[in-house]
Amino acid sequence: METDSRRADGPARAGAAYELLAPAKDLACGLAALECGADAVYIGAQSLGARQAAGNPRRDVAQLITRAHLFRAKVYAAVNTMLGDAQLLEARRLITQLYEDGVDAVIIQDFGLLELGLPPVPLIASTQMHNATPQGVAFLRDAGFTRAILARELSLSDIARISAAAPGIELEAFVHGALCVSYSGRCYLSYALGGRSANRGECAQPCRKPYTVRDALGQTLAERCHALCLKDLDLSAHLGSLMAAGVTSFKIEGRLKDAAYVKNVVLWHRRALDAALSRTGGRKASSGAVVSDVKPDLVKTFNRGHTTYFLNGRDAGMHAHAVPGFLGEPVGTVRLVRGNRVDLEERPTLHAGDGIAYLDAQCHLCGTPVNKVEGGAIWVENARGLARGMRLFRNHDRLWLKALDAAHIERKMGVAMELRASGTGLQLKLKDEDGVEAGASASCENAAPRDAAAAQSTLAKQLAKLGGTPFAAQKVALPAQAIFVPVSVLNELRRNAVASLIQARIRSHPRGQRLPARAEASYPETELGFEANVANHAAEKFLRAHGVKSLARAVENGPMPPSARVMTCKYCLRHALKSCVKGQAAQPLFLDDGEGVRLRLEFDCKACVMAVYAQNPGPLAPRTKAASARTARSADRNTGRPRRRASST
């Protein structure tokens, strides 16, 4: 595993528990994340989440909560869409149901919910609330939020300043996964171009499309450049530094990813976090240890390459201009193409059923399955665009994914077992690693055995058979006087004791409390533009009660103003193209998608911020449903997946 040469691990904070937080598209992904060692899982509720395609029925979320609580792990439900007036009561009902089902916290982005008399469920401030300043995060704490999900653009020093200014609120930081090029909550590009609001979970990802880049004089700087596309985040080598800065929850992005991605990435970060905890003396936030016979490998599942973004200052290689999807791991260079046979310069490590990706002569991302491998040659399903000198990449490793799917992965909690004999039968007492106790009894005759040593060995062996349960026997204490007990009696006694311990653990799961709200808390700003995303009367009432004098309603409440800024980015295209002119007045750049969309990029070099304006969106016309569909298809075409046996996006 990669190490961090600039690591600044400090001692763990007294009393702090450090959490690996995993995404769940659905119940199966959530259960996989828990089994692989997640301390918490976040999942979309049945509606009103910032990923409309990742909603889940109430019964599935409740089942995930029960399983998580067994391990002292937590479940957070995402109800983090921007709400209209007509959705407020629906959101309140939904959050009430989640609280009744035992959810540990709810992720929200709409201040209007704080005016509705919610149940006392802990609240997590979504990154959509633009949690980027000490003043802003301190206000969230004073408003009653238990946790703030930090903006991805922050550096270690930024996080440390927030932690110092806002003690008492938990800080959650993304450490892995896809990056939005805009500050979260401040992107309106998808809405401007097709009416699909990112703040309402409908983003069409036009930022992943290819554009022609031109300067103010009309000169072409780049063609087919995915100018607004970033690599994926990977901070697994920096977890100790994040702990020292004040982060206690390490979040993996991916509520649209499949179970293979979740397993691989959670296993990887579980190892990384455990290593950081051992260095700092910290403790993990849940119970149990993971045993796995598969080695995680981040290059095997979906990624666009990896970056540390702004954690240690600007990463000069954060962009993914060439490929917006999953290119994969390099496997060879084309020497000769004859029909569907491709000879490589190197002996390939490919297998039939793998998927390969490559860039054709026009820099289009192409993919095809491998049908046969023999010597230095492969036979592919479709050799369109392949030519001598092209590099091939594997983005679907069939055998590795098959091994991951069949891998033995178990999460076990240590338990001490004590068997006691009485005149009327047996008692089995269990005590787990958290001190939770439970037991069971059985009526039977405790006869003296013919072979005392063999009888004691059988007792110990049968009691320790905890396969198929979430427990592993660490100690088995037996009566001093050897007794004979039928195996069937021992097995039933063990099963009943385990079932009792499972129920005791679930019942004893601690329930979190929301932080008390301070009525006198003042919002850091008194004037708010549309980027505050206020779309209902309750949110406006809340903000005005906390010192806001004037505000503009969210653009989603009406037509997009033609001159409105549609993105605010810390990423800078000029810097990526090595044309940074910091200290001077930078001229704008222009992006053209070839389908009628023209974007203007303005640069505030003093603040090191890039703003994006849509030159011709109009009032959501003419780019409505048909245009949105083209955008979505374009994003899908550029994922880099083979047509069949595709890897996840």
* Lowest-pLDDT choice from 44-58, 105-119, 166-180, 568-582: 44-58
**Hey, what CATH topology would domain 329-406 get?**
Thrombin, subunit H (2.40.10)
Instruction: Give residue 245's pLDDT.
Output: 97
Task: State the pLDDT confidence band at 644, using cuts at 50, 70 and 90.
Answer: very low
DSSP per residue, 341-382:
EEEESS-----TT-EEEEE-TT--EEEEEEEEEETTEEEES-
Give bridge partners of residue 329 from the DSSP assignment.
Answer: 394
Place of tokens 């083209």: 630
- Decide: 534 and 551 in contact? Cβ < 8 Å: yes
* Rounded Cα–Cα distance for residues 107 and 354 (Å): 39
The stretch 85-105 carries a mean pLDDT of: 96
581 vs 626, residue with greater confidence: 581
Task: State the pLDDT confidence band at 52, using cuts at 50, 70 and 90.
Answer: low
Instruction: Give residue 315's pLDDT.
Output: 96
- Beta strand residue intervals within 397-506, DSSP E: 409-422, 425-432, 437-443, 471-477
Instruction: Give residue 76's pLDDT.
Output: 98
- Does 17-179+230-296 match 329-406 in CATH topology? no
pLDDT in tens, 275-287: 999 999 999 999 9
- Beta strand residue intervals within 281-328, DSSP E: 283-284, 289-292, 306-307
198 vs 235, residue with greater confidence: 235
pLDDT in tens, 324-355: 999 999 999 999 999 999 999 999 899 999 99
Task: Write the CA distances from 119 to 104, 138, 322, 541, 590, integer angstroms.
Answer: 12, 23, 48, 20, 49
pLDDT in tens, 455-509: 899 999 999 999 999 999 999 999 988 888 889 999 999 999 999 999 999 999 9
Alpha carbon distance, N-terminus to C-terminus of the chain? 24
Instruction: Give residue 617's pLDDT.
Output: 55
Rounded CA Rg of the chain: 28
Q: Residue 609: which residues within 8 A CB-CB, separation 6 or more?
A: 568, 569, 570, 603
Instruction: Give residue 647's pLDDT.
Output: 31
- Decide: 325 and 304 in contact? Cβ < 8 Å: yes
Instruction: Give residue 638's pLDDT.
Output: 34
Instruction: Give residue 626's pLDDT.
Output: 43
Task: Write the CA distances from 81 to 110, 416, 530, integer angstroms.
Answer: 7, 46, 16
Please check the confidence at residue 572 and state whether its pLDDT lies above 90: yes
pTM: 0.92
Q: What is the mean pLDDT of the chain?
A: 90
- Decide: 104 and 76 in contact? Cβ < 8 Å: yes
Domain 17-179+230-296, CATH homologous superfamily name and number: Copper homeostasis (CutC) domain (3.20.20.380)
pLDDT above 70 coverage of the chain, percent: 92
* Lowest-pLDDT choice from 47-61, 470-484, 543-557, 576-590: 47-61
How many H helices and E strands in the chain?
Answer: 14, 30
- Decide: 275 and 396 in contact? Cβ < 8 Å: no
Q: Where are the domains of the chain?
A: 17-179+230-296, 188-228+553-649, 329-406, 413-507
The stretch 632-645 carries a mean pLDDT of: 37
The stretch 200-227 carries a mean pLDDT of: 94
Q: Which of 604, 566, 570 is nearest to 587 (CA)?
A: 604
47 vs 139, residue with greater confidence: 139
441 vs 2, residue with greater confidence: 441
Hey, which of 187-196, 357-366, 543-552, 626-635 has the most confident mean pLDDT? 543-552
Please check the confidence at residue 625 and state whether its pLDDT lies above 80: no
Task: State the pLDDT confidence band at 642, using cuts at 50, 70 and 90.
Answer: very low
- Decide: 641 and 367 in contact? Cβ < 8 Å: yes
Please check the confidence at residue 635 and state whether its pLDDT lies above 60: no
